[in-house]
Structure 1
Amino acid sequence: MDFKTASSSKYNVTFSAPVFPTENPDKVKRALLNLINYGRPNSDSLVADADVVCIDLNGQIPNRALMVSGGTELLSGVHYLIRKEEIIDTTKTALLNGVVESESEIHVFLNKQVAYVKRLNFPADEEPLGSIEIEIKAESMDALLRIVDWLAPPTKDGVALFELKAEEL
């Protein structure tokens, strides 16, 4: 994929979540939007319900998934929550564990129920109703590691040593 033409940035970010028959799709959508929109002061930058697409999985279980794709602006809510909950080190570990070097991408999973109440939790194991997956694709490993440093910079005693601005990505 050519990131220069596919997006205005060198990153492609996708949030997705399976919707099982026993789940309320509106609640799964709210969990996704909570992660994306949390802490955004400007309503013009918010992702609307209409931006969340429902994908039919052709008879599989789950039979539907919700998805939102875009650039790094989709990560601003997660960025804010990481700092609010003081989980920079935990986040860095989860991000680095999710790196696929050969593809210059990261796959990280978040608990749907916890996201619904505007919190973050990286599940240790596969969850019965699935997790929210965040996929971050970059044009290079250097660019990918830069976004890791933006989301979860190096710390000393739990305090970030520096903070990158989103514009510096």
Structure 2
Amino acid sequence: MRIEVLVRSVVYPTEDESKVIRAMENLFPMGKFEVRSSGEEMKEVFCKGYTEKFLGRLYSLLREERILNTARKIIKKNYDREEGKIRLFFNKQAAYVGRLNFTEGETPLGPIEVEITIEEKEFRDFLDWMAPRV
């Protein structure tokens, strides 16, 4: 299965950059995170991955927290067939303490955004692997 994963989050002036990075590392420990300016006072933290192994912690958390059905619905809902992308959003504060909490786009501190690019013919296999029916 060929995938590309982009993980990113804005660091607002009121946030500690190291805490945002830690939150992201809690979900994607294999990530090599980079920081770039994203406006006058804001920064963006991001990394990329190209294998299922990169998604390993996310895979485990879905099972540990017993949210496979919820995850499956959200993945299906947020899959754009035309672009071949799945967009997922996670709460930074929950991620900071090692928990997984899906959000619907924007949150007061901004989410951790995960964009998974996958070919349409592989989407069903990906879905069944990441969040099988239970």
TM-score by length of 1: 0.74
Question: Which residue of the partner structure matches residue 144 of structure 1?
Answer: 123
- Note if contact 2:89-2:104 (Cα within 8 Å) is conserved in structure 1: no
- Alpha-carbon offset, residue 57 of structure 1: 1.4
How far apart in 1 are the matches of 2:96 and 2:113?
14
Alignment RMSD (CA, Å): 1.5
Residue 6 (structure 2) pairs with residue 17 (structure 1): no
- Alpha-carbon offset, residue 70 of structure 1: 1.2
Partner SS state of residue 74, structure 1: helix
- Note if contact 2:105-2:111 (Cα within 8 Å) is conserved in structure 1: no
Deviation by residue 1:23-76 (Cα, 9 ceiling, x = unmatched): 000000000000013xxxxxxxx44xxx101121133x7x21110101132210
- Alpha-carbon offset, residue 125 of structure 1: 5.7
How far apart in 2 are the matches of 1:12 and 1:29?
20
TM-score by length of 2: 0.92
- Note if contact 1:81-1:119 (Cα within 8 Å) is conserved in structure 2: yes
Question: Which residue of the partner structure matches residue 33 of structure 2?
Answer: 52
After TM superposition, which residue ranges in structure 1, 4 or more long, deviate above 4 angstroms? none
Aligned runs of 1:92-103 on 2, under 5 Å? 92-103=72-83
Q: Which of 10, 22, 25 is the aligned partner of 1:30? A: 22
How far apart in 2 are the matches of 1:58 and 1:119?
29
Structure ID, larger Rg: 1
Q: Comparing both chains, which one has the higher relative contact order based on Cα–Cα distances under 8 Å and sequence gaps of 6 or more?
A: 2
How far apart in 1 are the matches of 2:108 and 2:82?
29
Residue 67 (structure 2) pairs with residue 67 (structure 1): no
- Note if contact 2:90-2:111 (Cα within 8 Å) is conserved in structure 1: yes
Structure 1 residues 125 and 136, CA, compared in 2 at 3 Å: closer, same or farther?
closer
- Note if contact 1:137-1:144 (Cα within 8 Å) is conserved in structure 2: no
How far apart in 1 are the matches of 2:100 and 2:69?
13
- Where does the alignment leave 5 or more consecutive residues of structure 1 unmatched? 1-8, 38-45, 156-169
- Alpha-carbon offset, residue 154 of structure 1: 1.5
- Note if contact 1:105-1:144 (Cα within 8 Å) is conserved in structure 2: no
**Quick one: which amino acid aligns to residue 3 of structure 2?**
Y
How far apart in 2 are the matches of 1:92 and 1:76?
16
Structure 1 residues 125 and 56, CA, compared in 2 at 3 Å: closer, same or farther?
closer
How many pairs does the alignment contain?
133
